[in-house]
Structure 1
Amino acid sequence: MRLIALTALTMVAFAANSVLNRMAIVDGGMDAFVFAVVRLLAGALLLAALMLWQRKSFEVSALRNPAGVVSLLVYLFGFSLAYRVLPSGVGALLLFGMVQVTMFGAAVLGREVIPMTRWAGTGFAFLGLCWMLWPQPGVQTPFLAMSAMLIAGIGWGVYSLAGRGAKDPVQATALNFIFAAPVGLVMLLILPVNTDAYTANGVALAILSGAVTSGLGYALWYRILPTLGATRAAVAQLTVPVIATLGGVAFLSEAVTLQFGISSILVLGGVGLAILRK
């Protein structure tokens, strides 16, 4: 039960990132890339302070796998770029649908033993995702935003896989953020960024997203990943689109449809089947 509770708390943090990102970029008028960098810096500063408090090492040699840094940057920038257009739930759906494919594929390639119930549960959950993505008549498809989110999904899938071997979740997460932060600042000089497009509210939301729901949330994620395993971790994250959509309804007045309701039943039912040991 403790693992389930920690996993649920982590999924809520992940969903909150979608809602906070949309609130800052759409309602707060913040530039997507500036939001991503402020989020990254906030996470790096909080985690660095936490490491100092716990007297942990900042040695470069502790960063054994650079894939964590690269994949974190790919995820953050693709995530923010996509949310200039996509609703909270749809963005989270695309993100974690691709995470599902990435992590489940890695588990198969790594010859991880996958029970039939987990295959069946994943199938039901993925069917729910496909149902949510089914195009509606008269609705234009934002291919650029969707592609950015799919790339972000690959980034987050790789980031999650890299974290499975972390001996110290706080240190691993902190070093990923700390080493990614200067790269993010350099990218602001290269990318087409509107540095004037920011508000106090947008900055506050970016700091909240970076420090709490990203920095602390990702440290918790790295802590429970070794117990979950690749396939159960992938399936658990399929609950995030449902939670993010509910958050979008509550905070951004996004609509809920019958299509969403049916999809949610399939996703949550599939997750329940796949994530439980018995």
Structure 2
Amino acid sequence: MGLRQSPVRDSLADGPADASRMRLSTVLLVVTAVLAFAGNSLIARTAIGQDLIAPGPFSVIRLLAGALVLLPLLRRKPRPEDIPGALALLAYVIGFSFAYRELSAATGALILFAAVQFTIIAAGLMRGERLGGRGFAGLTLAGGGIVWLLLPNAATPAALPTFMMAAAGMAWGAYTIIGRQGGDAMGQTARSFVIAALLSVPFGAIDPDMSTGRGIALAAFAGVVTSAFGYVLWYKVSPRLSLGVVSSSQLATPIVAALAATILLDEPVSWRLALAGAAVLGGIALTISPVRQKPEPRTGSSL
């Protein structure tokens, strides 16, 4: 299948019923996390795109709000090993916010998720995971669906915001890979938010006068709900998945965001959106579908 799947932890599933429950739990966590990611995109487009708040203050408030709500889950003080995840989170949030000041939504999403894909796939290959035929087909189909949806509407972007969004995508890919190490998902996310929030404070001085009450509220909501809550879920579920599944499942985010915008903004559902959604979901299904394993040979003697 994709980058060779590390199966959902066998030790957590003692039988078929346990395996089914674990599989359902994994799917629900992935779906909820993707909804949170899409929510971040919608909120950022609304707040920054409508000049309700500048990208710097938006980023700071988003991280501070997330850090405050996660503070009770901190459990221990941040340590040096928590710094890489925090820096990746900070780079993603800052690059994402500032890039959306100039990029169109379609262009930004295309650049972001292409960079995420490249980063995660490259990391998997470097770790020796193999890109099999099923995984290659799934990733190609899902990626093609994203391009089919977004590219016709993507204006030629300026160099600096393009670089910033690509850097944000690479940072999010790195943040995801760091989270795959497993362990205390809530504590790890809390420590990343606390460190990133403290480091982000200087960015709040960039155009602070642009901040409106609605913009501040949207940034705080993004920090508490679609960021802190969503990232805890993502850190919890990502260690259960192969890098191929992690990469492909995130490709659903632009589709979900587009559908949500259609519902919330009364935009019509186009045939292009329907076909792109089918391609992305089909690609994800190809990547997630389990590969049949050869039965292990019996050990011991038979009488």
TM-score, with structure 2 as normaliser = 0.81
How many corresponding residue pairs?
A: 267
1:65-105 Cα deviation digits (max 9, x unpaired):
42211111111011111222445455333322211111011
Match of 1:164 in 2: 180
Q: What amino acid sits opposite 2:197 in the alignment?
A: A
Contact (CA 8 Å) 2:44, 2:97: kept in 1 or not? Answer: yes
Match of 1:142 in 2: 157
Aligned match of 2:229: 216
Amino acid at match of 1:5: L
Q: Does the Cα contact within 8 Å between 1:23 and 1:252 map onto a contact in 2?
A: no
Structure 2: runs of 5 or more not aligned: 1-23, 292-303
Q: Could you tell me how far 1:181 is from its partner in structure 2?
A: 1.1
Matching residue of 1:43: 66
The separation in 2 between residues aligned to 1:232 and 1:16, in whole angstroms, is 21
> Given residue 135 of structure 2, which amino acid in structure 1 is its aligned partner?
R
Question: Could you report, residue by residue, the CA deviation over 1:26-80 in whole angstroms, capped at 9, with x for unpaired residues?
Answer: 23521011101100000111110333xxxx222x33x514221111111101111
Separation (CA, whole Å) in 1 of partners of 2:234 and 2:225: 13
Q: In structure 2, do the counterparts of structure 1 residues 236 and 95 end up closer, same or farther at CA, with 3 Å as the change threshold?
A: same
Change (3 A) 1:82 1:247: farther
Equivalent of 2:211, from 177, 189, 198?
198
Q: Is the 8 A contact 1:32 1:84 kept in 2?
A: yes
SS in 2 for 1:134: helix
Larger Rg computed on CA atoms? 2
Judge conservation of contact 1:38–1:206 (CA < 8 Å) in 2: yes
Q: Is the 8 A contact 1:92 1:244 kept in 2?
A: no
Is 1:57 the equivalent of 2:76? yes
Q: State the secondary structure of the residue aligned to 1:73.
A: helix
CA–CA distance in structure 1, aligned partners of residues 207 and 44 of structure 2: 17
- For 1:256 and 1:83, how far apart are their aligned partners in 2? 23
Aligned residues: percent identity?
Answer: 36
**Structure 1: gaps (5+ residues):** none
Query: Deviation digits for residues 118-168 of structure 1, max 9, x if unmatched?
Result: 2210111112223234346xx742234333222110110011011111310
Deviation at 1:242, TM superposition (A): 0.1
Distance 1:183-1:254 versus aligned 2 partners, 3 A rule: farther
Are 2:258 and 1:239 aligned?
no
CA deviations over 1:206-238 (Å, ceiling 9, x no partner)? 111101110111011111111012221011000
Counterparts of residues 240-259 of structure 1 (less than 5 Å): 240-252=253-265, 256-259=269-272
Q: Distance in 1 between matches of 2:188 and 2:144?
A: 34
Name the structure 1 match of 2:96.
Answer: 79
In structure 2, give the amino acid aligned to 1:102: T
Q: Give the secondary structure class of the aligned counterpart of 1:7.
A: helix
Which residue number in structure 1 is paired with residue 113 of structure 2? 96
How many angstroms apart in 2 are the aligned matches of 1:31 and 1:97?
A: 25
Q: Distance in 1 between matches of 2:212 and 2:280?
A: 36
Once residues 265 and 103 of structure 2 are traced to their aligned partners in structure 1, the CA distance between those partners, rounded to angstroms, is 12
Structure 1 residue 254, shift from structure 2 partner: 5.5
- The CA distance in 1 between the partners of 2:172 and 2:60, in whole Å, is 17
Q: Following the alignment from structure 2 to structure 1, what is the Cα–Cα distance between the partners of residues 200 and 145?
A: 35
Q: Which deviations, in whole Å up to 9, do the C-alpha atoms of 1:242-267 show, x marking residues without a partner? A: 00111222334566544333322221
Q: Distance in 1 between matches of 2:30 and 2:62?
A: 22
Give the TM-score of the pair, scaled to structure 1. 0.88
Counterpart for residue 228 of structure 1:
241
- Conservation of the 8 A alpha-carbon contact between 1:17 and 1:213: yes
Aligned to 1:20: 43
Paired AA for residue 177 in structure 2: L
1:128 aligns with 145
Secondary structure class of the residue paired with 1:196:
helix
Match of 1:178 in 2: 194
